Amino acid sequence: MTIPEMPGSGLPESSSATPQPSTTPQPYGATTIAPPPPPPAGSAKGPMALALAALIVGIAAFLFGLIPVFGAIVGAAAVVLGVFALRKKQPKVLAIIGIVLGGVAVISSITTTAGLGAVVNHASSSKPAAVAAAPDDATEPEAPVAAAPEPSKAPAVPAAPAVPIEYKTALVKATSYARSMDMSKVGIYDQLTSEYGEKYSAEAAQYAVDNLTWDWNANALAKAKSYQQNMAMSPSAIHDQLTSEYGEKFAPSEADFAIAHLND
């Protein structure tokens, strides 16, 4: 009995058949995968401390750039840090910004320092020039001059002391009393020094009555006529009122003048 061949038995029909390359895919995971290409230069993230330091110091240098010397020192530090960062292949943007800001600060600081130095030199050089001009004029020969006898000097007259303001105002007030109220010299003095009156010092009141040029006889006569017309007083009573220490305080001679001219 013949046994039929099973399809797919894998047995070759003829031993002389040429072997064919296998096209069957390999199992999963058996395929060899090529390593990835290396990243391009500069794309790898490396340290950036120097570049960041260059940027920070550059910003500080830019802010302090107008300060003489100090701004140049900080700017130079920023430039040096930026150069080292570029050599270490750290981020170029940060390093270049730090270098630029540092360079600007160095230039600004040097310019400011030079300007201040020029101003100081100009100020110091102008003073000796002004002083040195004097010897040129003094070098001219002068003709000998015979010494003239010195005139005798008169003794210096001391300047009059300034009048205090209190004395001046007391004089003004005394003039007002003499003109408007026909008061006597003693009456004005008492009014100026009275605690119920003007309250001037005794010195100021004395200065006022001493420097008040006034016709006291005319004041006594005006008072006498006032008493006669308004109070109908007798000449004797008027005389007593004019000279009384509780009255007008005129001098006796002034009261006598008033009574003698009472009916003029």
* Higher-pLDDT residue of 244, 149: 244
Q: What is the mean pLDDT of residues 155-160?
A: 70
Residue 36 lies in a domain: no
Residue 77 lies in a domain: yes
How high is the pLDDT of residue 36?
Answer: 60
Residue 251 structural domain: 165-260
**pLDDT tens digits for range 107-124:** 877 888 787 777 777 777
Do 255 and 178 fall into the same domain?
yes
Domain boundary among 110, 128, 146: 128
Q: What is the mean pLDDT of residues 32-43?
A: 54
Q: Contact 241/255 with Cβ under 8 angstroms?
A: no
Residue 43 lies in a domain: no
Q: Averaging pLDDT over each range in 4-8, 47-51, 128-132, 201-205, which range is the top one? A: 201-205
Q: Which residues of 144-153 are buried (b: 16+ CB within 10 A; e: fewer)?
A: eeeeeeeeee
How high is the pLDDT of residue 11?
Answer: 44
pTM over 0.85: no
SS (HEC) of 217-235: HHHHHHHHHHHHHHHCCCH
Total domains in the fold of the chain: 2
* Higher-pLDDT residue of 39, 192: 192
**pLDDT tens digits for range 170-187:** 999 999 999 999 999 999
Residue in 158, 186, 163 with CA at minimum distance from that of residue 244: 186
Residue 157 lies in a domain: no
Residue 91 lies in a domain: yes
Neighbours of 236 (CB within 10 A): 9
Domain boundary among 99, 128, 157: 128
Residue 99 lies in a domain: yes
Assign residue 237 the CATH number of its domain: 1.10.10.10
pLDDT category, 1, cuts 50, 70, 90? Answer: very low
